[in-house]
Chain A
Amino acid sequence: DAGVIQSPRHEVTEMGQEVTLRCKPISGHDYLFWYRQTMMRGLELLIYFNNNVPIDDSGMPEDRFSAKMPNASFSTLKIQPSEPRDSAVYFCASTSGEEQFFGPGTRLTVL
């Protein structure tokens, strides 16, 4: 298995632009999590899905952030419009039980 796949690995954009991050979970996993990691705030859970349904989005910072999971093998996290304070590493993780498997992350820089 290739593990959790995220794209792009790096994204540099200008303030005000739309950013879309993508994730392919491990096949057979029915939970998918989106995290954001910064030096100041550490690793924060943004939203998670079970069987493609959002369960808890209380960590989504504001309406500029949205996430979808149209099917079991694909999820997106969208930021529109992006701001410099959104600069961070965004991780996707999946699980079918307790241990979570993380992707390599997307390093987002908003100028």
Chain B
Amino acid sequence: SQQGEEDPQALSIQEGENATMNCSYKTSINNLQWYRQNSGRGLVHLILIRSNEREKHSGRLRVTLDTSKKSSSLLITASRAADTASYFCATDAKGSNYKLTFGKGTLLTVNP
């Protein structure tokens, strides 16, 4: 079964707006990661947040983690058309030895 579940399944916004995607998971984790997948391509790692961290920034990306609610959010600020892609959260469960479990993703469309 999928560990991470993203919502919404699809999000359409205008260029310049912010996009927020959420992820919920079920078990204790070592870390949570976000990946991006452009159509027809492999996944690309965006950012990793550890279980003892609450917030992390990387460029226009901001990730939060709430382990008490077993949830995370990914915020993309000042979106661009090039941000159009599917975004996946992946959890590294405790004791999993780097094995990741991916959600089904959020399809983000940024309209020019």
Contact = CB atoms under 8 A, between A and B. Distances in A.
Q: Do A and B bind each other?
A: yes
Interface residues of A, number: 23
Q: For the side of the interface on B, what is the size category?
A: 20 to 34
B102 A104 contact: no
Nearest to A59: B99
Dominant SS at the A interface? strand
Given A48-B99, A95-B98, A98-B98, A43 B88 contact: yes
B97 A43 contact: no
Contacts of A95: 98
Given A48-B99, A55-B97, A95-B98, A101 B105 contact: no
A40 to B, nearest CB: 10
Dominant SS at the B interface? strand
A100 B35 CA distance: 9
A99 interface: yes
Interface in A18-67: 31, 33, 35, 42-43, 45, 48, 50, 55-56
B92 to A, nearest CB: 7
Interface of B: 2, 30-31, 33, 35, 41-45, 48, 88, 92, 97-105
